[in-house]
Structure 1
Amino acid sequence: MTTQVRQEVVVVGGGIAGLCAAYELTGGREGPSSSSPRVTVIEAGPRVGGKLQSLEIDGRVLDSGPDGVLARRPEIGEICRDLGIADDLVPIGASGASLFARGRVRPLPEGLQMGIPTNWQALRASHVLSGAGLLRALRDRLSPLPSSRGALQDRTIGSLVETKLGREVVTTLVDPLLGGINAGRVSEMSAAAIYPPLLEAGQQRGSLMAALGAMAPPPPSSDPQEGDVPPPPAFVSLVGGMASLISVLETTLRERGVTFVLNTSVTSLRRTAGSDARWSVDSERTTSRADGVVLALPAIGASGLFESLDPDAAALLAQIDYASVAIVTFVFDADDLTLPATGTGVLIPPETPHPRGPFHGERFLTTALTFLDRKWPHLHRPGTTVLRSHTGRIDDDRLETMSDTEVTERALIELGILFHDVGVPRESHVTRWAESLPQYRVNHLMRVVGIENAVEHLPGLEIAGAALRGIGVPACIGSGRAAGQKLRETLGAKAL
């Protein structure tokens, strides 16, 4: 009788993608079996979870990274059900947002699709564009321009929208919303990777507004009838914050026997020769032997590990650059800050100048505001207001030379411009996320296909994470789970 030797897997990177890969490698929803591999997660930082972290401020625990996710993506619901925490999911408590445009905070126009208008009358009623900007957008309905370059595999989001609707729509609406989500500029962002419907609609001869409007789901009825099913929420979070997902995942993985190695950077990845080839994962302190490896780390780190395995894949990964951002979390006494009556936040176009004050003429550092305890009512406490100021973009390096105090003071000055009489906050906290948001530039998906093809030729290796096919939490969950499932299948076939 022979004893089966369990296979070994190393997951490099302990963010949400890496943890979800480890979850699948240890059996996923069904849990581990006698044939499940031993899994080690190696993380360069002091804790796992990536950007899903929390902070304590004013006696409450808040997310310091993403505070919610799109509800229409299935991945968050699936992982929460599998972990037994589906009842902790909570819906967003408000809808709508505002925009700082033409010197005032104004509600966003109705009918936007990722910041792109689909209803000219609603655009006109919002007063966010100048008269010239409105007339240019109207041309899309009356005499739409054909795409100037015909059908291509990819285009920048900015060029597609500008050709059809004019530059003012891009700078006032699309860049603040779609660019802001990615901390990028739509003049450089890939339509195919970020918003494929735009690529399809923008390369047609007809109206872009009409084409995108036809693709949009119908709005909820303004006169719901008894028995109607209420529309699903646009966003969801967890009652303990998005960071609580990491706590549950880590606990589950430890119970399954997963080993965590923290504060350790992987320096090289080698494939041993021979018929029974294995992987050697070198760190600063030791070498781990493994039958399989999942790389779930930022592109620049993965690029370094690929240099000796596939220089072309390493070069493709190195082309993916990252934006650095910072989030300032404020807690105010409710009487010291008057917010718009509705909505969950405010967007600020990236070229917006200070109209007055010590930074007159300089562009805003703040890119968006989130009214956190209005967005998530379970965070609300009587007499206080919780607000987050988002700062930083790919083309704005001012954060690198500013102290936390300077970032906080600048954010407060800009709050005063938006809302006028703003008091002194009870507390504030700055969270910096250096090189945290990958930029999907034109032809990003072609780069990803090249990277994935290289991985296919390296048996026992998988790759996952935000650098590939989606930067949001749900996309990273799906990427990690898919990588873990695929490697588990590969190792299972190898063991036969």
Structure 2
Amino acid sequence: MQPRTGYVVVVVGAGIAGLSAAHAILADDHGAGADAPRVTVLEAADRVGGVLHGVEVGGQVVDVGAESMLYGNDDARWLVSSLGLDDRITHPATTSASVWSRGRLVPLPKGTLMGVPRSPRGAGDVLTEDEAADLREASTVQHPPVHLPDLPVGPALAERVGRAVVDRLVEPLLGGVYAGRVDDLSMRSTMPRLWTAVAAGEPVLDAVAAIVPEPREPDPDAPPRHVFFTIEGGTNVVPRVLHDRLLADGADVRTGWPVERIEPLGDRYRVVGPHGAIEADAVVVALPAPQAAGVLAAFVPAAAHALVGVELASMAVVTMAFDRTEIGALPGSGFLVPAVERRDIKAATFSSGKWPWVDALSPDTVWLRTSLGRAGEAEVLDLPDEQILDLALADLAAALGRELPTPVDTHVQRWVGGLPQYGVGHADRVGTVRAAVGRLPGLAVAGATYDGVGIAATIGSARAAARIVRDHLAGAAAGTLTEGDAG
């Protein structure tokens, strides 16, 4: 009996995780031991890409969701390279950012790890003299090892570096990534390298100093050290190119096709939605935690229960286009806003100053964006667009200390439940999900819920899911010829 070919794989969800998983499954360098599988991608929305989305503002398409990737990440670079986008990589023109603290923009200190400085003097001008003294005193206190599986970031770090460092530096940086509250986020999941030091009872500042090099004056002869990158045209280009590549590789990508549940079908699966059912040999679930819980609930209840415990944060991104001569100079790449400032916006990005590709869009127009909304503060998303815009403009003018001109165009993008919250115990929840799903051959999960909320981490989870699927199909193909058949 010959090995069966024509295996069917269904990927549920067409955000960057689902698209990347489908692409990795079809990539030539994995080898399944059988003909390339037939891949179907199912997406409930009317478009692919999830939070990687571009909209025309001021006559040009700009990102209104996630806007950059980690340059040093192998998974992000793999995806860009495999899509032939290497020649479109671009880096920030400036990384000079500020913190809006106590009514003024203060340079964000260099040489920190998520806001934690490598020495008491490394907090820059963000702290008052009394707060700097608290940091020096807190950093000298010896703490015993922590015999707990996890701790919230805020209380753990406040004991070791002072509350002001947490509120004025750590919170705006973590909030910019997770849109979460620093007192609720898991230290083990969001700051794993510092968690290792805390758990071992090591001084936190010493741990930062061992990880982060001491800031130095830039060497004009040295090659630049890039941290982030994007693609000319924005990250929204990536899912569009991915979609086209998948179609060229024979995949079937269906939008407007929600999935209600997945059912076991012997050693296969049935993926069921209002438009019908698809039988598959393997399935990748690349959905946000609540939706993933729903489709898995019937036959992987342990995973579904763990996923229900993952909270989500919602936010709004307000993109504005201004006349270049009217808006005037903008400082650096933007600024962060600590939650203790009790402002409506939590960050602003001066897109034309930060990204060369945006600046080159027009000699007459400048683009910038602000974000609003933190975990537990979804009320702002219920406001009309005009009111959200007014809040953003008022805070922006206050931060810059001057009246702003009327924008030539604006766009308000709501991301409802856009960011999973890595609360205390998140790593254990993820472990439970993967253990439960891993007991079912050919089933895998991927997305921002698991290994990090950034684009690069999400691509990494997608590649891991693809390996599970390809290994399963290779094993199924090799195992088709049984001893009984051979007799």
Taking structure 2 as the reference length, the TM-score comes to: 0.93
Structure 2 residue 137 is the aligned partner of structure 1 residue 155: no
Deviation at 1:400, TM superposition (A): 3.5
Q: Which deviates more, 22-31 or 256-265?
A: 22-31
Deviation at 1:132, TM superposition (A): 2.2
Deviation at 1:290, TM superposition (A): 0.7
- Which of the residues 360, 368, 374 maps onto 2:347? 368
Give, in whole Å, the separation in 2 of the partners of 1:25 and 1:297: 17
Supply the AA of the counterpart residue of 2:38.
Answer: R
Change (3 A) 1:367 1:24: same
Matched residue, 1:83: 83
In the TM superposition, what are the counterparts of 1:227-266 in structure 2 within 5 Å? 228=222, 230-266=223-259
Query: Is contact 1:102-1:128 (8 Å) kept?
Result: no
Deviation at 1:28, TM superposition (A): 4.4
Structure 2 residue 188 is the aligned partner of structure 1 residue 198: no
Matched residue, 2:138: 140
Matched residue, 2:485: none
**Structure 1 unaligned runs (5+)?**
353-362
CA deviations on 1:171-219 (whole Å, 9 max, x unpaired) are 1111111122100011111111111111122345453223211211454
Matched residue, 2:403: 421
Matched residue, 1:186: 182
Query: Is contact 2:171-2:339 (8 Å) kept?
Result: yes
Supply the AA of the counterpart residue of 1:466.
Answer: A
Partner of 2:136, secondary structure, is helix
Give, in whole Å, the separation in 1 of the partners of 2:429 and 2:387: 38
Give, in whole Å, the separation in 2 of the partners of 1:41 and 1:95: 37
Deviation at 1:240, TM superposition (A): 1.9
Matched residue, 2:455: 473
Supply the AA of the counterpart residue of 2:212.
Answer: A
Give, in whole Å, the separation in 1 of the partners of 2:323 and 2:343: 25
Deviation at 1:144, TM superposition (A): 2.3
CA deviations on 1:398-454 (whole Å, 9 max, x unpaired) are 223201111001111111211122111111111111101000011111111111110
Deviation at 1:322, TM superposition (A): 0.6
Matched residue, 2:317: 327
Structure 2 residue 371 is the aligned partner of structure 1 residue 390: yes
Partner of 1:266, secondary structure, is coil
Deviation at 1:53, TM superposition (A): 1.0
Aligned CA RMSD, in angstroms, stands at 2.0
Partner of 1:328, secondary structure, is strand
Query: Is contact 2:146-2:198 (8 Å) kept?
Result: no
Matched residue, 2:484: none
Query: Is contact 1:54-1:63 (8 Å) kept?
Result: yes
Deviation at 1:330, TM superposition (A): 0.7
Query: Is contact 2:33-2:473 (8 Å) kept?
Result: no
In the TM superposition, what are the counterparts of 1:19-168 in structure 2 within 5 Å? 19-28=19-28, 35-123=35-123, 126-141=124-139, 143-147=140-144, 150-168=146-164
CA deviations on 1:321-370 (whole Å, 9 max, x unpaired) are 110111000111234334554x2111111131xxxxxxxxxx31100000
Change (3 A) 1:208 1:5: closer
Supply the AA of the counterpart residue of 1:403.
Answer: P
Give, in whole Å, the separation in 1 of the partners of 2:217 and 2:262: 56
Q: Report how many residues are paired.
A: 475
Give, in whole Å, the separation in 2 of the partners of 1:368 and 1:433: 15
Taking structure 1 as the reference length, the TM-score comes to: 0.91
Give, in whole Å, the separation in 1 of the partners of 2:264 and 2:160: 51
Give, in whole Å, the separation in 1 of the partners of 2:189 and 2:263: 31
Structure 2 residue 333 is the aligned partner of structure 1 residue 344: yes
Q: Which deviates more, 63-72 or 368-377?
A: 63-72
Give, in whole Å, the separation in 1 of the partners of 2:25 and 2:272: 21
Change (3 A) 1:98 1:179: same
Partner of 1:466, secondary structure, is coil
Give, in whole Å, the separation in 2 of the partners of 1:49 and 1:402: 25
Deviation at 1:224, TM superposition (A): 4.8
Change (3 A) 1:300 1:95: same
Change (3 A) 1:2 1:191: closer
Q: Which deviates more, 397-406 or 45-54?
A: 397-406
- Which of the residues 409, 427, 433 maps onto 2:415? 433
Partner of 1:468, secondary structure, is coil
CA deviations on 1:385-408 (whole Å, 9 max, x unpaired) are 211011111121222320111100
Give, in whole Å, the separation in 1 of the partners of 2:469 and 2:142: 48
Partner of 2:117, secondary structure, is coil
Query: Is contact 1:140-1:208 (8 Å) kept?
Result: no
